[in-house]
Structure 1
Amino acid sequence: MALAGLNIVLFGLFFVWPGSLGLIYSFTDYTGIGTFEFIGLDNYEQLFGDPTFYRALTRTLLFAALSVPLMYVVSLSIAALLVSNYTRGKAAAKIIFFFPWLISPIVAGVIWRWMFGESFGFVNYVVSELGADPLAWQTDPDLALMVVVMAGTWGGTAFNMLIFIAALKNVPRAYYEAAEIDGANSWQRFRHITLPSIAPTSFLVILLSSLGAMKEFAMVQALNGGGPGTSNTFIIQYIYETGFQRADVGYASAVSMILLAILLTIALLQMWVNRRRAA
């Protein structure tokens, strides 16, 4: 009972209270210091007419649409490889694949920035050695987004891999043995046994990955700062710049409330789809 009470207190302190403040501030002209006045829906009217907000939201959704499927495929493939009886060196492989999750997103961003630097990066060095022209990884918006997608996939694969490993190990071996006796090949066993058996885990991974992609900030900030220019500014970066650099906390809070509504919509939509498939 005491533990439940503590959880309620912590939830209220770190989630309900900040969320309530954000909702209140979204209806004010608060700058972060001093007093504030209620201005009604002015922040929301400004937000829905702000092209910068739509660009940041569109780029964030594009990042999520590209990184989440890639992260799912890579993490599931690695997990399947690590639970296979034919794989050797599993312990070392787990450490290597799990390493990205152990380092901070800031460090991960710096590592990828060094790798894909235009004038000093390792990748462009290899490209030059092969006789090709260096690529504009930092100044071309699409290439810069590609690097962010690869970095996000690299950082998020490790945790998803562990979840998939646990799920794959819980699939009864008798299913595979029966399918093998019936003449099913490896792909048929994977498609008709593995994927349906880990469907709840797949739903969890996709949900967490989607929410994480929509909230990506630290890694992108360290990698290219949303550049070149503001072409790859994500929604969390936009909130940060608006609230802390422009000292417009009220407007930033309004953007945060819209982001919260989007995240809840994504979660509810995925839950609805999952229930329909399970029915």
Structure 2
Amino acid sequence: MSDRHRGRTGAAGGTEHAGGFRRRRSPGTYRWQPLVFTAVIIGLYAVFFIWPAAAGLFYSFTDYRGRGSYEIVGLANYAELFGDEDFYGALARTFQYAVIAVPLTYVLSLLTAVFLTSERVLGRSLARLVFFMPWLISPIVVGVIWRWLFGESFGLINYLIAQMGGTGPKWQTDADLSLMVVVFAGAWAGTAFSMLLFISALRNVPRSLKEAAALDGATPWQTFWHVTMPSIRPTSFMVILLATLGAMKEFAMVQAVNGGGPGTANNLIV
């Protein structure tokens, strides 16, 4: 084989190819830069996550109130916590909220993503912006909006019902209805981000699989259930995981909607 068709090794360790182009090897390239960037991330994670978690765990064994001195009390705080009926009520209400809100968020976000990826839908870019707006709003603002909508004496929903001659439900004083308002508010706010994940996943489903299913006589529903759903399974897992974590630590929106009320009926664990 001639030098025209194979590269020649240069004296500096590079390789000379046809046309005189020489590619040099750089032994030190990209050896320390990744370590620097990784160290920065590890440092930030340690400062804002590991250290607060460790400090909180330590303070849980003391009588520390946020300022002043403290004394070690051992497991006294945990004994008081597990002996408090309100704790179990809040824990049960949190699981109830998550069991309802997570599937609702999943279904709404998936349906929205399917709608916005359909070729038959016009103005998809504008629609995505509209559907994504709730994610840009603070949870406090989301709670205020939904409290204004479902207020018993001043809410828009009850006002419209009264205008039609009906009597509005007791959205604030009924514990179950109050929780449902929080559930729908959380699902409305959380659908936007999950929708983006599903849009990306749906676009990556191989078109060849759908065409093969159509040639085999599969209906659109069968194609979606047997082709699309298995293809987006990793994204589904991620959406469910993130939605569950968000539901288990929800606080700001609940505080803005009903303050955990009526009374303490809807106090979540946070």
TM-score range (shorter-chain normalised) is 0.7 to 0.9
Structure 2 matches for 1:238-253, cutoff 5 A?
A: none
The answer to whether structure 1 residue 127 and structure 2 residue 157 are counterparts is no
SS at match of 1:117: coil
The answer to whether structure 1 residue 84 and structure 2 residue 115 are counterparts is no
Identity %: 59
Superposition misfits of 4+ residues, deviation over 2 angstroms: none
The answer to whether structure 1 residue 208 and structure 2 residue 242 are counterparts is yes
Q: Please report the TM-score for the alignment, with normalisation by the length of structure 1.
A: 0.83
Residue 131 of structure 2 is matched in structure 1 by 97
Residue 52 of structure 1 is matched in structure 2 by 86
Name stretches of at least 5 consecutive residues in structure 2 with no aligned partner: 1-34
Structure 2 matches for 1:13-162, cutoff 5 A?
A: 13-162=47-196
| Aligned-pair CA distance for 1:95 | 1.1
Q: Which of 245, 261, 264 is 1:230 aligned to?
A: 264
Q: Larger C-alpha radius of gyration, 1 or 2?
A: 2
Q: Please report the TM-score for the alignment, with normalisation by the length of structure 2.
A: 0.86
Structure 2 matches for 1:187-202, cutoff 5 A?
A: 187-202=221-236
Higher relative contact order (CA 8 A, sep 6+): 1
Question: Aligned partners of 1:29, 1:154: CA distance in 2, in Å?
Answer: 40
Question: Aligned partners of 1:233, 1:23: CA distance in 2, in Å?
Answer: 23
Number of matched residues? 236
Q: Deviations over 1:212-234 (max 9, x none)?
A: 00010111111111111110011
| Aligned-pair CA distance for 1:72 | 0.2
Bigger share in helix: 1
Report the AA paired with residue 71 of structure 1: T
RMSD: 0.7
Name stretches of at least 5 consecutive residues in structure 1 with no aligned partner: 237-279
SS at match of 1:40: coil
